[in-house]
């Protein structure tokens, strides 16, 4: 009926997720309510929720919506990491195509790095994960006054609405003239999102002083 193996059913029983009764032939029998429960478990498993998380939901120790949000955040975090790996692989292929040596250590200028690069990477990670509070904490005092957290969340929500699902970080590049200006290209399902960062140069160094969002075709 449900396309689930007897082995999986026994495992769920061992973990206390479902119950059954045994007939004289020692075969398990499930009531209608238990069948409905198994259906729900299969839905949650298809979403990638672990057995331990499903147990917590059943016991009331975890909220279903929060569990799904946490699962989505885990997947996005892995996607961010994979995007960075893909970017490094693309850079290595570019070097090899040009006849270069990927085993020779590059200078900061060759890597297009600056003292601000790590700050931008961290900000992009928080943006993709949806941790806007942490992103907001990276803003300068002036930018926080200009764009309060509630306004930032609303702006990001409106901008992300037509994009579809996040796909990858395409690239992050520094401005050719201004060392404290960076452009990050994020590819989504339907459109690309360009984030422009301006980092503070003197006072409040290490803080984001400018933050702009715009679209580009993918």
- What's the pTM? 0.64
Take residue 123 and report the two structure tokens written for it.
Answer: 């900000």
Kindly tell me the number of DSSP H helices and DSSP E strands found in the chain: 8, 6
Determine the pLDDT at residue 12: 93
> Where do the CATH 3.10.450 domains begin and end in the chain?
66-216
Q: Spell out, as residue ranges, where the chain has pLDDT lower than 70.
A: 23-25, 105-115, 202-205
CATH of 66-216, one of 3.10.450, 3.10.28, 3.30.1330, 3.30.70: 3.10.450
Task: Tally the residues of the chain.
Answer: 218
Q: Could you tell me whether strands 192-199 and 28-29 are parallel, antiparallel, or unpaired per DSSP bridges?
A: unpaired
Determine the pLDDT at residue 24: 65
Determine the pLDDT at residue 192: 93
> Where do the CATH 1.10.1660.10 domains begin and end in the chain?
6-62
How does DSSP assign 105-149, residue by residue? PPPTTTTT--TTHHHHHHHHHHHHHT-HHHHHHTB-HHHHHHS-H
Residues 6 or more apart whose CB falls under 8 angstroms from that of 63 comprise 57
Domain 6-62 has CATH 1.10.1660.10: yes
Determine the pLDDT at residue 81: 80
Measured between alpha carbons, how far is 172 from 196 in angstroms, rounded to an integer?
10
Measured between alpha carbons, how far is 181 from 125 in angstroms, rounded to an integer?
17
Determine the pLDDT at residue 206: 78
Determine the pLDDT at residue 202: 63
* DSSP label of 60: T
Measured between alpha carbons, how far is 142 from 218 in angstroms, rounded to an integer?
33
Determine the pLDDT at residue 112: 47
Determine the pLDDT at residue 132: 95
Under 8 Å between Cβ of 185 and 120: no
């Amino acid at each position: 009926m449900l396309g689930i193996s007897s082995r999986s059913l026994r495992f769920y029983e061992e973990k206390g997720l479902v119950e059954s009764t045994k007939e004289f032939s020692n075969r398990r029998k499930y009531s209608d309510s238990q069948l409905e429960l198994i259906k729900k478990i299969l839905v949650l498993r298809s979403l990638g929720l672990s057995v331990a998380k499903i147990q917590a939901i059943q016991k009331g120790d975890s909220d279903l919506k929060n569990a799904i949000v946490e699962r989505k955040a885990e997947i996005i975090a892995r996607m961010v990491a994979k995007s960075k790996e893909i970017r490094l692989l693309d850079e290595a292929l570019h070097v090899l195509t040009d006849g270069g040596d990927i085993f020779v250590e590059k200078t900061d200028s060759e890597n297009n790095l600056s003292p601000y690069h790590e700050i931008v990477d961290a900000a992009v990670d928080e943006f993709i994960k949806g941790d806007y509070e942490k992103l907001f904490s990276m803003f300068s005092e002036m930018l926080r006054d200009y764009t309060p957290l509630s306004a930032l969340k609303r702006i990001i929500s409106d901008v992300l609405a037509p994009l579809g699902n996040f796909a990858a970080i395409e690239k992050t590049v520094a401005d050719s003239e201004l060392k404290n200006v960076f452009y990050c290209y994020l590819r989504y399902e339907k459109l690309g999102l360009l984030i422009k960062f301006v980092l503070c140069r003197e006072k409040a160094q290490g803080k984001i002083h400018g933050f702009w969002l715009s679209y580009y075709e993918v």
